């Protein structure tokens, strides 16, 4: 399963620490494991989860 799909599943389930996941997403972006658009979407989902 691609990195993006796994990260999205984890974020949607809410089973993550915000700061840790943000660092992982940053690393995935730097390694070209996810695109800029995917990164922005995942960070946006995390923001929605944090305010919910």
Number of domains observed in the structure of the chain: 1
pTM reported for the whole predicted model:
0.88
What is the domain extent for residue 31?
A: 3-51
Q: Residue for token digits 């943000």? A: 22
Task: Find out whether 34 and 28 touch, Cβ atoms under 8 Å.
Answer: yes
Q: How far apart are the first and last CA of the chain?
A: 28
Six-digit token pair at 10? Answer: 């984890």
Rounded to whole angstroms, how far apart are CA atoms 8 and 50?
15
Rounded to whole angstroms, how far apart are CA atoms 32 and 46?
20
pLDDT digits (tens, 9 = 90+) for 1-52: 799 999 999 999 999 999 999 999 999 999 999 999 999 999 999 987 766 5
């Amino acid at each position: 399963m691609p990195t993006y799909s796994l990260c999205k599943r984890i974020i949607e389930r809410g089973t993550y620490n915000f700061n840790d996941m943000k660092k992982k997403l940053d690393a995935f972006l730097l390694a070209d494991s996810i695109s800029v658009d995917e990164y922005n979407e995942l960070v946006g989902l995390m923001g929605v989860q944090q305010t919910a």
